[in-house]
Amino acid sequence: MHPSDIENMETQEKRKDMLYSHVSVDCVLLGISEDQLSVLLVERSDVDGNKIGFKLPGSLIYDTETLDEAAYRVLNETTGLKRISLKQFRCFGSPSRTKNKDDLQWLENALKLNKVSRIVTVAYLALCKNTRKFNPSYKYDEAQWFKVDQIPHLPFDHKEIIEAAVQEMRAWMEKEPAIVFDYLPSKFTAFQLRRTYEIIYNKEMDVRNFHKKMNSLEYVVPTDDIQDGVAHRAARYYRFDKVKYNKQRSKFNKN
């Protein structure tokens, strides 16, 4: 175990009595895996250490931290990553989200709390390349990608939170189309860009119309590089120009 993990364990133990048992944060990390939109889930264990399924990365908040601080703490504990933007997108506070006695019992055992009743959770959304290497803390044995249309049974209302996060991501892309490039390599083909849109929106797009629209975007810049070692006709690589994107968005916002 890494020394920093030991330090984190000691810190968490000291802060147990500071957990606020009515408010939590849950983080939805959406990526693309095996040509499908996917979500990152963490494995749960019972008091005996037996694996009992998966859940969204999340935590009750501490009295001394803000919601954003709690969300970034959860993100770092889950992935070891710090440079990922988190977007707070919705609160989930239905009384029925904690109606399952097994879910509550697991939570009380996991956090060593005497009584947990109603919990309001604040959901955060993050977009992440599946190729990024994770270094989770001692808290989680395993983090695994699941296709959003093949999610296993989840506790509380985590499935509902994921469904809402997918809709939020699509609405977010309408306002900030640059976020699609979070899923692409630094150089990409027109097919890769189109396929990413198709995966996110879960629908096929007309190739000709898509190319026409792509060529109208100043910030999608063709390079001199061409694919090599492919059986089909070699495609040109493009790159995302953030400076041109910001200028174009600035012009749009002034109009």
pLDDT tens for each residue of 118-136: 889 999 999 887 666 666 5
Point out which residues pair with 91 in neighbouring strands. 122
For 97-112, give the DSSP string.
Answer: GG--HHHHHHHHHHHT
Top pLDDT among 135 and 96 is at 96
Res 140: pLDDT: 62
Q: How far is CA 75 from the centre of its chain?
A: 9
What is the pLDDT at residue 109? 83
Q: What is the mean pLDDT of residues 226-255?
A: 81
Q: Which residues of 90-113 are buried (b: 16+ CB within 10 A; e: fewer)?
A: eebeeeebbeeeebbebbeeeeee
User: What's residue 192's pLDDT?
Assistant: 94
Residue 226 has pLDDT above 80, yes or no: yes
- Both tokens assigned to 237: 């690589």
Q: What is the pLDDT of residues 133-148, one digit of tens each?
A: 666 555 666 788 999 9
Q: Looking at 5-9, 34-38, 157-161, 237-241, which range is the least confident one?
A: 5-9
- What is the structure's pLDDT at 10? 46
Separation between Cα atoms, residue 24 and residue 59, nearest integer Å: 5
Domains identified in the chain and CATH numbers: 3-173 (3.90.79.10), 176-254 (1.10.10.10)
Q: Are strands 220-226 and 87-92 parallel, antiparallel or unpaired?
A: unpaired
Is 30 a residue whose pLDDT tops 60? yes
- In the numeric block, which tokens belong to residue 100? 């399952």
For residues 211 and 228, what is the distance between their CA atoms, to the nearest angstrom? 21
Per residue in 104-120, pLDDT tens?
Answer: 888 888 877 777 778 89
pLDDT for the residue numbered 34: 85
> Over the chain, what is the mean pLDDT?
85
Q: What is the mean pLDDT of residues 72-94?
A: 89
Percent of the chain residues topping a pLDDT of 90: 55
Q: Of the candidates 18, 198, 173, 179, which has an alpha carbon nearest to the alpha carbon of residue 111? A: 18
Q: What is the pLDDT of residue 7?
A: 45
